[in-house]
Amino acid sequence: MADTFSLQRVLETFRSSLSEEKEVYIKYYIAGWQELVAFMNSLGSVFSFISKDVVSKIQILENFLSGENRSHYVTIQSMVRYELENDLVDLTKRGSHPESGCRTLLRLHRALRWLELFLERLRTSSEDSKTSVMCSDAYNESLAQHHPWLIRKAVGVAFCALPGRDTFFDVMNAGDQTQVVALLGESLPLIAEVYQITEDLYVKNNLLELP
């Protein structure tokens, strides 16, 4: 992973994450998140508490990917099957498996929805739109419902410190605004598809409320 963010690379990693059978490769899913962390870090230190949590979630999943049971952690589908069949998930309250792959990935999955909503707003925004408003609208519509008051407050403060729309487009490193908008138009359906496949899997297995 390079230090500078590139929207193009995010697109490529999410594209690589879908198998022909429409399963989601965990390796590329977290690679996509690593790119997004680089992006958050380029936005300044107010985002560091947000990226820290994402980094620790990525780390938990990476440990599974390189651990002795790694053959079960190739796709999100195989992970869910394996962890459920072997009682490795705390289903109703936190117990002996507080850091299962299923509950860890669920946190990233919820955040991905926020990202999707935000990027869609950015794509269709006009020059006078405010990034902080787009960010918090997307957040309130998605992730906020899963966060306690204190986190919602802290996230709100971070959003206020976001750079303006022009800077945002620059940081994406994908050419002028027209090109960024085009690339967003291309990448959003992919992110949405990865999100929806994961969502359907979690619904089917009744995993959307994992503690």
Binding site for ligand 1PW (CB under 6 A): 36, 39-40, 50, 53-54, 107, 110-111, 114-115, 143, 151, 155
3-state secondary structure at position 25: strand
Task: Report how far apart, in Å, the C-alpha atoms of 198 and of each of 25, 42, 44, 83, 177 are.
Answer: 11, 28, 30, 15, 31
Nearest approach, Cβ of residue 119 and ligand 1PW (Å): 9
- Comparing CB distances to ligand 1PW, the nearer of 151 and 197 is 151
**Given CA atoms 66, 67, 71, 75 in this order, what sign does their dihedral have?**
negative
- Comparing CB distances to ligand 1PW, the nearer of 19 and 98 is 98
Nearest approach, Cβ of residue 70 and ligand 1PW (Å): 22
- Comparing CB distances to ligand 1PW, the nearer of 7 and 22 is 7
Nearest approach, Cβ of residue 72 and ligand 1PW (Å): 22
Task: Report how far apart, in Å, the C-alpha atoms of 94 and of each of 73, 83, 108, 151, 201 are.
Answer: 22, 15, 18, 20, 21
Closest residue to ligand 1PW, judged by C-beta, is: 53
